[in-house]
């Protein structure tokens, strides 16, 4: 392995961040320039949204269920077992729904984007596209970013809902609690700030997933090995960024919304 000087390494990283920021800004700026490639957006929405639906539903349901199972014992000890609906709904809507859905979609779609675009780069298809007068940023990146943001928003809502259903199943079947009481408790405990926080996060995460996936794809070098590397890096970076950004977003929104 070739060793590079710390200065070169730092320069490379700064340049990569600069390129990423440029790609992100251009992906949004292209929304105001024609053509818009609506058909590509719909196709991507289908691939990202509908394609991710089964795993998001499955993971959401069992996350809500296990949350109920794990907390039931503690709540029972304090005689507050009826609060289980509140606990599941707050956890799912504020944190687990957005983060888990984000990470799942990152694993599935950031990798897909990086490998697809990376393959196009190494086989000169991106150059061919530019040579044929098409801006790859408009044709390939912007539709993926818009579709991911849009679909992750709704996938998260769905994940929250099936998570609550998972909690309900445990409460009803295993804990023998009243289903109406669970739903009332879960529903009434949610306030505007909870829902707002839960819906801002998927928008940010969707943007991160698509831009990171596209960035690693568009900058892939070194043949099939390079594409493989780009795919792995895209998933790791997107997942880490989601976790880190989740903390800062939560902190920021709590301060802004004067949330207790």
Which range in 46-54, 131-139, 200-208, 217-225 contacts other proteins by CB under 8 A? 131-139
> Cis bond leading into 35, ω under 30°?
yes
Given the complex with other proteins, which of 116 and 160 has the nearer CB atom?
116
Given the complex with other proteins, which of 54 and 132 has the nearer CB atom?
132
Residues 95 and 199: beta-carbon distance below 8 Å:
no
The C-alpha angle 236, 253, 80, rounded to 5 degrees, equals: 95
Q: How far is the CB of 115 from other proteins (least distance, A)?
A: 13
Given the complex with other proteins, which of 123 and 232 has the nearer CB atom?
123
Q: Quick one: which of 50, 65, 59 has its CA closest to 182? A: 65
Contact set for other proteins, span 110-129 (CB under 8 A) = 123-125, 127-129
Task: Identify the residue among 22, 50, 70, 130 touching other proteins (CB under 8 A).
Answer: 130
Residue 222, sorted as left (phi over 0), alpha (psi -120 to 50) or beta, turns out to be: left
Which range in 130-138, 143-151, 234-242, 245-253 contacts other proteins by CB under 8 A? 130-138
Residues 208 and 242: beta-carbon distance below 8 Å:
yes
Given the complex with other proteins, which of 33 and 174 has the nearer CB atom?
33
The yes or no reply on residue 35 touching other proteins (CB under 8 A) is yes
Given the complex with other proteins, which of 134 and 189 has the nearer CB atom?
134
Q: How far is the CB of 122 from other proteins (least distance, A)?
A: 10
Q: Quick one: which of 17, 21, 92 has its CA closest to 62? A: 92
Residue 220, sorted as left (phi over 0), alpha (psi -120 to 50) or beta, turns out to be: beta
The yes or no reply on residue 193 touching other proteins (CB under 8 A) is no
Q: Quick one: which of 118, 108, 107, 111 has its CA closest to 140? A: 118
The yes or no reply on residue 134 touching other proteins (CB under 8 A) is yes
Q: How far is the CB of 135 from other proteins (least distance, A)?
A: 6
CA distance 233 to 151: 23
Task: Identify the residue among 62, 135, 199, 259 touching other proteins (CB under 8 A).
Answer: 135
Neighbours of 42 (CB within 10 A): 12
The yes or no reply on residue 11 touching other proteins (CB under 8 A) is no
Residues making contact with other proteins (CB under 8 A)? 35, 123-125, 127-135
């Amino acid at each position: 392995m070739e060793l590079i000087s710390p200065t070169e390494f730092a320069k490379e990283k700064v340049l990569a961040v600069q390129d990423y920021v440029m790609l992100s800004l251009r992906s949004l700026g292209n929304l105001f320039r024609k053509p818009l490639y609506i058909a590509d957006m719909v196709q991507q929405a289908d691939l990202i949204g509908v394609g991710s639906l089964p795993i998001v539903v499955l993971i959401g349901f069992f996350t809500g269920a296990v949350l109920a199972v794990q907390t039931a014992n503690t709540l029972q000890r304090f005689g507050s077992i009826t609060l289980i609906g509140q606990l599941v709904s707050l956890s799912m809507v504020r944190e687990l729904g957005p983060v888990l859905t984000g990470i799942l979609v990152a694993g599935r779609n950031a990798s897909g984007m990086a490998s697809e675009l990376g393959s196009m780069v190494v086989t000169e298809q991106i150059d061919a596209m530019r040579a044929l007068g098409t801006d790859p940023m408009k044709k390939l990146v912007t539709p993926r970013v818009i579709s991911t943001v849009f679909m992750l928003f709704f996938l998260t809502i769905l994940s929250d809902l099936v998570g609550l259903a998972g909690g309900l199943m445990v409460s009803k079947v295993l804990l023998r609690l009243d289903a109406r009481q669970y739903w009332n408790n879960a529903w009434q405990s949610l306030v505007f700030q909870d829902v707002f926080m839960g819906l801002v996060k998927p928008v940010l995460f969707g943007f991160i997933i698509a831009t990171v996936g596209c960035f690693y794809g568009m900058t892939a070098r070194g043949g099939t090995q390079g594409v493989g590397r780009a795919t792995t890096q895209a998933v790791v970076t997107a997942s880490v960024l989601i976790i880190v950004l989740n903390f800062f977003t939560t902190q920021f929104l709590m301060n802004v919304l004067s949330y207790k």
